Structure 1
Amino acid sequence: MRRRRSFMPTILGAMVLFAVVVLAGGYWLMLYMPAASFRGEPASLSEDGKVLSERLHRHVRTLSETIGERHYWRPEALQAAEDYIEQAFQAAGLRPQRQAVPTGSRVFHNIEVILPGGQLAEEVFVVGAHYDTVRGTPGADDNASGVAVLIELARLLQQAELDRTLHLVAFVNEEMPFFGSAAMGSLQYARQARAEGMHVVGMISLEMLGYFSDEPGSQAYPFPLDRFYPDQGDFVAFVSNLESRRLVHQVIEAFRHHAEVPSEGLVAPPLLGDIRRSDHWAFWEMGFPAMMLTDTANFRNPYYHGPDDTHDRLDYATMARLTKGLAAALESLARR
């Protein structure tokens, strides 16, 4: 009698192959990023780069030290931050506009400048950064750093010949308890953009862009991302959801062609809750492609949301290189 052939090895082999394909597909979907990240020693800052570094430092120091905590419970400070940002845009030769954001019994504002496009003017890139803080912190990295980069991007790009339109916006009320509420400045902005039929082709949230370290072990991650990324916190992270994968690929590729700053990217599903933690979330809610640019917050910066998040702890040379590279990337993305 002939022995019956067992199909178990075939079944197990098929299961292993399927698992490998799934893992490879997941890796490609979430972790693959186009172009190569910058590595090595960056060139010394040019004279223009040094001036840019000083401007960034001045913005951060004014917002975090001169003004300090900026939130609903210190309305005079939040108003002072609004005024400073508006005046900084004006000093750069721009015409900022205010969008009222009712918050309880008070009214605060988003501050916006528009750099008009040409042949594709109806297509809009939004770049935003929140200027409020939580209680108990001067908020140098979170998020005076993002606001400083926003202001200097406007300065660098104001004379650029663009096909697509750029909206650069300082948002109010990103921090708790307003995150996700009607008083969240970016959510109000995104809702209005949707209601008006604005064709937002991409939104970039500038969320904490000043804290960098080349020390081994200076970078942490939510599990299991620590298996795939470097443990040195010397890079800037590009983060999106699955629906915005094309956008994050476009932005990081353009950035890598221009910037002398290491970069890492992640496209993740919503179950990884940390990818939601900034103003880009509001644009996801309205169905717009959006992403976050960040130094990864508390996964790197030990002073996050604390009294020691001060201007003297940030790396303004790296911020200058980042700002210059991002400006060049945005200029290329805003052209045909």
Structure 2
Amino acid sequence: MPPAPVRELVRELTRCADPQRLRRDVEFLADRPRSRIRAPEAILRAEAHVTAELAAAGWRTSRQPFDLRWRLGSTDRGGHRAPPLAFRLHPRLTGANLLAEPPGGIPRPTVVVGAHLDTVEGSPGADDNASGVAALLEVARLLGGLPRPPAVTLLVSDMEELGLIGSRFAARWLRRHRSVMGMICLESVGYFTTAPGSQRMPAGFDRGFPRVAGAVRSAGLRGDFTLVVHRRSTRAAATLWGAAAEATEPALPCITLGDPRPEGPWGALAGLAVPPLAHLDRSDHAAFWNLGIPALMLTDTANFRNPHYHRPSDTPDTLDHRRLAAVAVATAATAATWPHLY
């Protein structure tokens, strides 16, 4: 049960959240693939939409371009399978992130809420990751409407599908120029199903995470929950997010998963050695972990649940926008309350 102030905040934010507004954002973003390399006009169009929506919510957005050479990453080819250790060396990558600051000035210290804008080749990416961007925009509206906007920075990252390229650049910049308390990553957060057997788990997951595997199995392998991946440094924030999600309307089931690795490069190396752990690195939060910054990942587990993952069929009509609104509410409440946890 969340503390009374958090329950009150969740109720207030739930009254303001609008599933139809999230649907409109997803439909606009996911009407075509978005890629700096493969669909540059589409990603510029998506950038313009995000910037306009953030401005309407009172946030000040800056575009931060980057030009990087010889970066180790991955491929953005489509396909349902997503091997966690598929590397590619990129000779040159030119892209841009969007950073937004709240009404009232630059927050110090700050909690970063992030989602990636790009898609893989050939997929409109409604779940991966228009759902995350739409939830981020709703977080901006919800927090911007509070009497005193909290210390939050919004990050819309580029080239996640090429190996967290944009978030790696952003995490380094933020570490130099901001005091970052933590990061919340919205990664494929809109696909839910109550069908028994719809939720799958990676090979070796039962041995590595028996509590989580048991909880999923005891619920009939139904893909109706949000997974919150955390490390020791963000256990309290993960617990708070889960409590906030359960207080939303409708209540959103949540399962927390504690990654045993430490922050920093040793944690990343452990993921290379133990493939089930590498699945926990498959989004922008890992760029923050690798710099020692506490982070959470929120996800519907992507290809372990969603049959449309990285395919042309990842379209807006497959998402549950009411539950997506609940994700936004729980995220906004957690980001607003984070400074009081530590």
Using structure 2 for the length normalisation, give the TM-score. Answer: 0.75
Cα pair distance change 1:321/1:253, threshold 3 Å: closer
Q: Which runs of 5+ in 1 are unaligned?
A: 1-33, 36-42
Cα pair distance change 1:103/1:76, threshold 3 Å: farther
Work out the CA distance in 1 between the residues paired with 2:34 and 2:107. 37
Within a 5 Å distance, the mapping from 1:284-303 to structure 2 comes to 284-303=289-308
- RMSD of aligned Cα (Å): 2.7
Deviation digits for residues 190-222 of structure 1 (CA, Å, limit 9, x no counterpart): 1112223x3211100000111000111111112
Using structure 1 for the length normalisation, give the TM-score. Answer: 0.77
Cα pair distance change 1:107/1:64, threshold 3 Å: same
Which of 192, 203, 222 is residue 173 of structure 2 equivalent to? 192
Work out the CA distance in 1 between the residues paired with 2:50 and 2:135. 12
Taking only the aligned residue pairs, the percentage that are identical comes to 39
Work out the CA distance in 2 between the residues paired with 1:331 and 1:247. 11
Deviation digits for residues 80-121 of structure 1 (CA, Å, limit 9, x no counterpart): 111111111122232211111225767432112112689x95
Q: Quote how far apart the aligned CAs of 1:285 are.
A: 1.2
Q: Does 1:155 align with 2:141?
A: yes
Q: Aligned residue for 1:87?
A: 52
Q: Aligned residue for 2:131?
A: 145
Deviation digits for residues 124-174 of structure 1 (CA, Å, limit 9, x no counterpart): 100000000111211000000000000111011113255851001111110
Work out the CA distance in 2 between the residues paired with 1:121 and 1:140. 31
Matched to 2:329, the amino acid is: K
Within a 5 Å distance, the mapping from 1:91-170 to structure 2 comes to 91-102=56-67, 107-115=94-102, 121-162=107-148, 165-170=151-156
Matched to 2:229, the amino acid is: V
Within a 5 Å distance, the mapping from 1:8-87 to structure 2 comes to 49=17, 52-65=18-31, 67-87=32-52
Contact 1:123 1:201 in 2 (8 A): yes
Q: Does 1:276 align with 2:256?
A: no
Contact 2:234 2:294 in 1 (8 A): yes
Q: Secondary structure at the match of 1:125?
A: strand
Work out the CA distance in 1 between the residues paired with 2:187 and 2:99. 17
Q: Quote how far apart the aligned CAs of 1:241 are.
A: 3.2
Contact 1:71 1:173 in 2 (8 A): yes
Q: Does 1:235 align with 2:243?
A: no
Q: Aligned residue for 1:216?
A: 196
Work out the CA distance in 2 between the residues paired with 1:134 and 1:153. 25
Please say which structure displays the higher CA radius of gyration. Answer: 1
Cα pair distance change 1:126/1:117, threshold 3 Å: farther
Mean CA deviation greater in 239-248 or 82-91: 239-248
Q: Which runs of 5+ in 2 are unaligned?
A: 3-10, 70-91, 261-270
Work out the CA distance in 2 between the residues paired with 1:153 and 1:206. 11
Work out the CA distance in 2 between the residues paired with 1:47 and 1:126. 24
Cα pair distance change 1:121/1:88, threshold 3 Å: closer
Matched to 2:189, the amino acid is: L
Work out the CA distance in 2 between the residues paired with 1:84 and 1:73. 19
Contact 1:236 1:295 in 2 (8 A): yes
Contact 2:35 2:159 in 1 (8 A): no
What count of residue pairs does the alignment treat as equivalent? 285
Q: Does 1:202 align with 2:182?
A: yes
Q: Secondary structure at the match of 1:175?
A: helix
